[in-house]
Every structure is written in C-alpha cells, then in structure tokens.
Amino acid sequence: MLPNTGRLAGCTVFITGASRGIGKAIALKAAKDGANIVIAAKTTHPHPKLPGTIYTAAEEIEAVGGKALPCIVDVRDEQQISDAVEKAVEKFGGIDILVNNASAISLTNTLETPTKRMDLMMSVNTRGTYLASKACIPYLKKSKVAHILNLSPPLNLNPIWFKQHCAYTIAKYGMSMCVLGMAEEFKGEIAVNALWPKTAIHTAAMDMLGGSGIESQCRKVDIIADAAYAIFKKPKSFTGNFVIDENILKEEGIKNFDAYAIKPGHTLLPDFFLDEYPEPITKKMESTGAVPEFKEEKPQPQPKPHLGAVEETFRIVKDSLSDDVVKATQGIYLFELSGEDGGTWFLDLKSKGGNVGYGEPSNRADVVMSMSTDDFVKMFSGKLKPTMAFMSGKLKIKGNMALAMKLEKLVSQMNARL
C-alpha cells in the first residue's frame, strides 16, 4: 500500500460519483491527508443494492481527518454541476483537483442497446466529464496543484474493444479524448490525465454485473485510490498520460500487489481495453491489417474436441446441478454452437433441480450464447474464461448480461470435474 505523505492537506478535491466505490476510495485516501472533499453525486437515499449516499460518504471522510461537502449532483445537469462548484469555492476557497469518476455502463451490442441507454452513457461519461471539467477549470487554473483525473481507458483502437459494446466504448473513449484535448489546451496550467485499472476492481456495481463470487477475481478499490494519489503528487508537467494503476505504483516502489487482491493468489480478471491476451487479439488485429507490437510466436493449434464432447460436457454439467446452484443463478441459458458436434443446447438453472438438454428449453431463455463447439468445451473445462471469450469475440451474448457473467462462477465450480 502507498503511504500518505500529507501532501494534499488543505487541498480541495471535487469528485463526481464519490458516494461509493472507486470515487469514495479516492476521497478517503485524500481525506487522510486532511484534504477537503466535494462529494458530487446523486445518491441521497440508500439504494437497495448499492450501499452508500453522499451523506454517509461525508461521515466517513470526516472520520479519517478530511472535511466534506456533500452536493447533490447528476452530472447530466449542468446547473447542478455549476451550483456544486460555487458551493465548493464558497466553502473552501477554490478547487485544486477534479476527479471525473461518474460513469454509466451497458455491455450490449448495437442492436441490444436501447436509445435511452446509449443517451445515458453518452450524457454521463463523455458529456458529464466535459461539463464538470469546464466548470472547474477557471478555479483549477488558479491552483498550485491543478489536476484533472478522468477514470477512463487508454485510446486503444483495436476493433475488438468496439464490436461487442460499441456505445459503451464510444462513451468511455469520449472521457479519454477529453484528456487528450484538455492536456494540450491547458499545458503548463493544469495536469490532465487518465487512470485505468489493469484488472477488474471489486465494487458493489461489479457485484451487480458479475454476480456473487466475482470478487475473488478482483482487486480492492485501494489500488485505484493509491494510483490516483501517486498522480496527484506529480507536477503540472505530468500531463496527457493514460496511466495504468499497477504501472505507476511500480514506479512508486510497490513490488508486492497481493495486498490489493481480494483473494491473494487467485487469478485476476483483466479489465477492458487492455491488450493483455495477445493470441486472440493478435489474430483479430492481423485480420484488419494491423501489426501489433506484442506479436508473439504462433501457438500450437489446439486439437478439436472428439465427437460427442459437447454432449459429454453437458452430461457432467447435469450431474453437477443442485438446488443451491439453481437458487443462486435463476436463469436459463441457450447455447448456439457451431462446428462439429454443434447445434442448440440449453442449461436451465431456473426450474427446480435444474436441467440441461439438446434443443430449445421449455421456457424462454434469459441469455443466448453463440460460440464454436471447440471454445465451448474449452470454456467449461477451464481453458477459456467466459469473460475472455466474450472480450476476444469468441463468445457472442444476447440478453441478460448479469446472468451471463454469473456463468463465470458456475464454470469455475465445474472445472474440477471436466
């Protein structure tokens, strides 16, 4: 863990989406130095599945030595942003750091993304970041610290990161383009950078997306808080950077990252937009004429599953079913498998006791997954993670994404038997 130095004592940090998760973690890290924290978020009453409000966050901030100003802010509302900035300046005398953390996500393809959902992502991610920055910049220009930090990814134009969730990628990259533009526009006056995790980060939102058990593949929010703190210590000349949390902490002398893991030693889930798995991504880039820098020797071809491998896999899956698994999942999966031994199969984890079979389920499927038989067998035998299959384009998903992500835990439970 990165120790506090007291460097942010008396600094005013304006953080969007700071009532929980990553935003709150960054707030608490700065508060331990004695910083003033403006909690610009919209949660005023507890959410049934997402704990924390702007008021509970304020109590936690003050408990560790910071000063807090909770402000009701929906970043889609320019007036609410302006009002919060005015209150911050009136109470604390200025703004030294802005953290654009508020974000909306929907990992759906073009035809599965409703217009309202697309509008939400564009309004919160890109537009919200732009408006919050615009409102704070006049005060940041007067600060000796002067940092804007956007929680957004490097601008990786590999098509693999667009094909499965085009709208979300555009919205997040809009935040990153604000970094690119504003860093150049305000060079010498304000440091403008982006921060992105190398691995999945465990938050209440991640639990909702990935379901129970996903936390074992995640790191704690502390790693992002420490990385943000490391950036805030940098001079204004450190600008226009797309920082990965682990990389900057290594520069700070951190060598053992087990302290950040929810379950030390457990395999971590890589985050989106980082080409951490060269083999499938190299193939994709080469198909579009690109030559990736990480090109490695071609791996040996994997043998195709023998005839009946899919049927055998489903037999073992059926033997693994229980009322507890059904109760924890509550979903019906339809698999459209191409290639040898393919066809349509279902996994019913909603009916009592659960069921599997060839063909259509008796009730409508909640999730439809399309992939090759080779990859299906690899996935259920632990050689291919469902998340990586999806991110690399080997798995296409329609329907309930939260249920789709629950399959990761189910598969890991069955690996030992396959």
Q: How many CB atoms lie within 10 A of CB 292?
A: 15
Q: How many CB atoms lie within 10 A of CB 2?
A: 19
Find out whether 13 and 37 touch, Cβ atoms under 8 Å.
Answer: yes
Q: How many CB atoms lie within 10 A of CB 103?
A: 24
Find out whether 159 and 110 touch, Cβ atoms under 8 Å.
Answer: no
Phi, psi at 280, each rounded to 5°: -70, -35
Which structure tokens are listed for 75?
A: 């970043």
Task: Give the residue from 230, 255, 324 showing the smallest Cα distance to 30.
Answer: 230
Find out whether 75 and 43 touch, Cβ atoms under 8 Å.
Answer: no
Q: In what order do the strands lie in the sheet with 331-338?
A: 355-358, 343-349, 331-338, 367-372, 396-399
Q: Which residue has the tokens 């309930």?
A: 400
Query: Dihedral, CA atoms, 283, 288, 291, 295, nearest 10 degrees?
Result: -10
Distance of alpha carbon 347 from its chain centroid, rounded?
A: 28
Distance, CA of 209 to CA of 215 (rounded, Å):
11
Distance, CA of 95 to CA of 37 (rounded, Å):
10
- Sort strands 355-358 and 367-372 into parallel, antiparallel or unpaired: unpaired
End-to-end CA distance of the chain: 39
DSSP class of residue 298? P
Q: How many CB atoms lie within 10 A of CB 264?
A: 10
Looking at residue 226, its amino acid is D
Find out whether 31 and 229 touch, Cβ atoms under 8 Å.
Answer: no
Sign of the alpha-carbon torsion through 250, 255, 258, 259: negative
Query: Which residues carry out catalysis?
Result: 168
Which structure tokens are listed for 169?
A: 């990628």
Find out whether 194 and 241 touch, Cβ atoms under 8 Å.
Answer: yes
